[in-house]
Structure 1
């Protein structure tokens, strides 16, 4: 006679349920990490690179106009896309780990990145000027007052957590 107890197998539905639970937990963790990086200015946090200097001008615009400026930059095919920017970062990492260090290669990468930022600046400025030029004088005056308000209060703190 066989005295050893028979091993009980876990039902398939339990395995499927655990797998789905794990997938959902990983998705939520990934979403939370992505939001934290974006809010903290980490990789991908700056939706439009090179526009920080003009932030008060853009923040003071009405929502539709602000969206138009960002869309003009994002949709410009002449500007480097995310893939190109990542490729430049990868090229710089490769250049930095090379022995001996190739200063000229690193300089070329920095110049490509600088040209990309300048292109973003040109596209944003052009669209911003289009938006402002289309404003009636009274609207432009009130826009100027909103810029002053933005400059007085500084950047919004809500996306960086509470004030210390």
Structure 2
């Protein structure tokens, strides 16, 4: 395929943007759970709808859920800084690999696809672990606590549907 330099440039920009959006969405859940959790009553703009499950928890419940997630990942507080650094390096490494691949001439589509697939796989693995922690946490709640949570979840849904 004989693309013009302008077409190749826009393709690269599009790939970067797509990659950035996908990784940002995947990383938000893990990052929020590991740090401070999502805002309980703030940040209700577009793009925050995916966090309804987390927003419906009370502050104490979110703290418990973060603790459960850390335990699932085998983390303790003393190695927190090292984990963050390793996560950043692994996260940025994927982007650096993408940038290197994008600069290759001729462009190697399959090589970039492999980089994107690796990043997507990491994202799916993290999301699956987070879902398991969420399911375990909800299963351990009393029926009354789950009903209260369900009521808060429905209020979150209603708030969004009114916008």
TM over 0.5: yes
Q: Contact 1:60–1:147 (CA<8 Å) still a contact in 2? A: yes
Write the distance in 2 (CA, Å) between the matches of 1:140 and 1:114: 32
Q: How does 1:34-73 map to 2 (within 5 A)?
A: 49=27, 51=29, 54-70=50-66, 72=69
Residue 146 of structure 2 is matched in structure 1 by 140
Matches within 5 A, 1:108-127: 108-127=114-133
CA-based RMSD of the aligned residues comes to 3.4
Structure 1 partner of 2:113: 107
| Mapped contact 2:26–2:127 kept (Cα < 8 A) | no
1:62 Cα deviation from its structure 2 partner: 2.1
Unaligned runs of 5+ in 1: 1-41, 156-164
Question: Residues 113 and 67 from structure 1, CA distance in 2 versus in 1: closer, same or farther, beyond 3 angstroms?
Answer: farther
Aligned length: 112
Q: Deviations over 1:66-125 (max 9, x none)?
A: 234445269737x98221110000110111111111111101111111111111111111
SS at match of 1:118: helix
What 5-or-longer segments of structure 2 have no aligned partner?
1-19, 30-47, 75-82
Instruction: State the partner residue of 2:88.
Output: 82
> What is the rounded CA distance, in whole Å, between the counterparts of 2:139 and 2:112 in structure 1?
40
Structure number having the greater helix percentage: 2
TM-score by length of 1: 0.57
SS of equivalent residue, structure 2 residue 129:
helix
The TM-score normalised by the length of structure 2 is: 0.57
Is 2:100 aligned against 1:94?
yes
Deviation at 1:48, TM superposition (A): 6.5
Q: Which structure has the bigger radius of gyration?
A: 1
